[in-house]
Amino acid sequence: MVIANLNTRFRKLAIIAVLIGLLAVSGVYSALTVSVTIPSSGIIAGNDITALSGSPSDIQAAVNAVVAAGGGTVHIPAGKFTFNPPVNGIGVTIPYTNVPIAIIGAGIGQTILTETQFEGFSTMFARTYSGQSYSAASVRISGISFAGLVLTTNLPIGITDDWNTQDNVGISLKCTQDFRIDDCSFTNFCGAAIEVADNTGSAMLVDRGVIDHCSIDNPYRNFVQPYNATGAYYAVGGYGIIVLGDYYSWDLNIADYLGQWNPTTTTNSTNCPTGIYGSVVPQPVYIENCNFTQCRHCISGNAGAYYVARYDYFAECYLGACDMHGYTGNPAPINFGTRGSEVYSNIFNLTNEAYSGGQDDAWRPRGGGGVFWNNTVYLNNVNGPNACMIMMFNDGEPYPYDVEQAYVWNNTCNFINGTVTNGDNSIVIYNGGYVANVNYFLFAPNGTNVNGLTGPTYYTPYTYPLPLTQTALSSGTTTASLTLSQDTYLISASPSRYARMMK
């Protein structure tokens, strides 16, 4: 510690101030005038902090300082940084708090955070739920390239490279209101690039937010070929975005979700089946203007989640591009999968059968409902009937958690043999016995009531682009005035005012 140009009295006061936590910055210091130099891991200007580097420890130090200041923005400088989370751990923990936090890089290809060793179950950035009763305040993560580990040789026999055994994730958020992840790129994540996981079991805490202008690519399967030395197929991981609900809430009225940003209808005995204890409607996650390539399930939902995918581009998908998981073996009453999705105005280029092994389909509902409309789908019809626009499954979930109230209209299929068809007819029922005009409809919602469920009377999509993508998130409310040098915080302190504080 270096303390300069202070008389003995105020040098002593300054040292005491440091020891009691001067770095927990608040507005009370803004008018102080005496300089105190303290070792730092970055640069501070107001409630904006520039981390010293893109290492996990430097970013974490800056995040902690922003939280102490009452919210704000962490800037990560340009450069390529080694970023290895602890084995089976988290690189940067975004505290569960009710103050807003933004983490901003210099841009895609400018700020690059790269994993260089295999870390098992690890996450680069994560907000974890820590027991509070509120949903955490907004988080924005922007302008960063996240790079998982690229494996260039086959793994040893008995080791698999998929989400069951090596689940590395770029960003994971839990119970966060009005988050935004934008203008980021993600490559080589055998778990998932982004996970929105409202799986606290509380039925009270909800995620809501938008992922926009991101690029997600998982070419690691090209480097480690999908067969190991024994010939077993194993490289099947690489989700793009996973959206999870709270495992409890399920509103039977799909109209409470369609076209909404902030559904407020609470579930009750009328619209929520007996035994399901949800008290809030799951909130949507919007995914727009994103680019997906070489992913297993570019987007996948489960546990009562609801998502909207619009104006996105999908290519070289393994299994369904926009997937809705169904029942996954959870004990009653948690016996459902994805509540629903809205998928529209997207382009699906699913012609590369060499990548997917004939597993191409754009929308794969295995439970729940929603809408699929105004999409353009390119298919390879040489490899047989499994190349289709929509493939409906039943994973074992009972009514009413199976596919119900799925609406399909105004889609176009382009086949590589030159055929252009009305895509609404390119539907394969893999299992489940789903029936047109009972489980799914080849028209927009118009009030059709069938199978014991009340159908929506109309459908209006939510405003595009999402307003949250057009306005900056709040960066905090404190008025602390701090300036910056590369190696120090420089904090101004007025002798007279500081002396009064210490009495």
80-84, 121-125, 243-247, 358-362: segment of lowest average pLDDT: 358-362
- Confidence band for 175, pLDDT divided at 50, 70 and 90: confident
Q: What is the pTM of this model?
A: 0.82
Question: Does one domain contain both 43 and 185?
Answer: no
Q: Cite the beta strand spans of 94-226 per DSSP E.
A: 101-104, 111-114, 123-127, 139-142, 145-147, 169-173, 177-182, 185-187, 192-197, 208-212, 215-217
Q: What angle do CA 69, 478, 9 make, to 5 degrees?
A: 70
Q: Identity (one letter) of the amino acid at 27?
A: G
43-52, 127-136, 466-475: segment of lowest average pLDDT: 466-475
pLDDT, tens digit (0-9, with 9 covering 90-100), for 380-431 = 766 555 678 898 988 878 888 899 999 999 999 888 766 766 666 678 887 7
Question: Does one domain contain both 375 and 442?
Answer: yes
Give the residue, 108 or 335, on which the prediction is more confident: 108
- Confidence band for 319, pLDDT divided at 50, 70 and 90: confident
What pLDDT is attached to residue 78?
96
Question: Does one domain contain both 57 and 86?
Answer: no
Question: Does one domain contain both 154 and 269?
Answer: yes
Task: Tally Cβ neighbours within 10 Å of residue 139.
Answer: 23
Question: Does one domain contain both 168 and 250?
Answer: yes
Name the percent of the chain lying above pLDDT 70: 66
165-169, 269-273, 376-380, 473-477: segment of lowest average pLDDT: 473-477
pLDDT, tens digit (0-9, with 9 covering 90-100), for 58-97 = 999 999 999 999 999 999 999 999 999 988 899 999 999 9
Name the percent of the chain lying above pLDDT 90: 43
Question: Does one domain contain both 141 and 262?
Answer: yes
Residue 460 bridge partners (DSSP): none
What pLDDT is attached to residue 22?
36
Rounded CA separation 283/280 (Å): 9
- Confidence band for 2, pLDDT divided at 50, 70 and 90: very low
Question: Does one domain contain both 495 and 469?
Answer: no
Whole-angstrom CA distances from 396 to 199, 328, 330, 367, 432 are 21, 8, 11, 9, 8
Averaged pLDDT for residues 464-476? 71
Give the residue, 243 or 39, on which the prediction is more confident: 243
Please count the structural domains in the chain.
2
Q: What letter does residue 459 receive in the DSSP assignment?
A: -
Report the chain's mean pLDDT, rounded to a whole number: 76
What pLDDT is attached to residue 316?
83
Two tokens, residue 488 = 């120090």
Torsion of CA 378, 381, 387, 391, to 10 degrees: 90
What pLDDT is attached to residue 433?
85
What pLDDT is attached to residue 485?
28
Q: Angle 8-19/495-502 helices, nearest 10 degrees?
A: 60
What pLDDT is attached to residue 209?
95
pLDDT, tens digit (0-9, with 9 covering 90-100), for 274-313 = 445 455 567 899 999 999 998 888 999 998 899 999 999 9
Rounded CA separation 30/165 (Å): 50
Contact 348, 316 (CB under 8 A): no
Question: Does one domain contain both 54 and 183?
Answer: no
Question: Does one domain contain both 2 and 115?
Answer: no
What pLDDT is attached to residue 357?
60
Question: Does one domain contain both 225 and 262?
Answer: yes
Whole-angstrom CA distances from 28 to 45, 108, 481, 498, 501 are 16, 37, 10, 9, 10
433 Cβ contact partners less than 8 Å away, ≥ 6 residues apart: 394
Rounded CA separation 394/368 (Å): 10
What pLDDT is attached to residue 354?
65
Question: Does one domain contain both 127 and 21?
Answer: no
Question: Does one domain contain both 338 and 206?
Answer: yes
Over 50: is that where the pLDDT of 20 sits?
no
What pLDDT is attached to residue 98?
87
pLDDT, tens digit (0-9, with 9 covering 90-100), for 185-226 = 999 887 899 999 876 655 567 789 999 999 999 865 554 445
254 Cβ contact partners less than 8 Å away, ≥ 6 residues apart: 340, 369, 370, 405, 453, 455, 456
By residue range, what is the domain housing residue 88? 78-477
148-157, 375-384, 443-452: segment of lowest average pLDDT: 148-157
Over 70: is that where the pLDDT of 371 sits?
yes
What pLDDT is attached to residue 501?
24
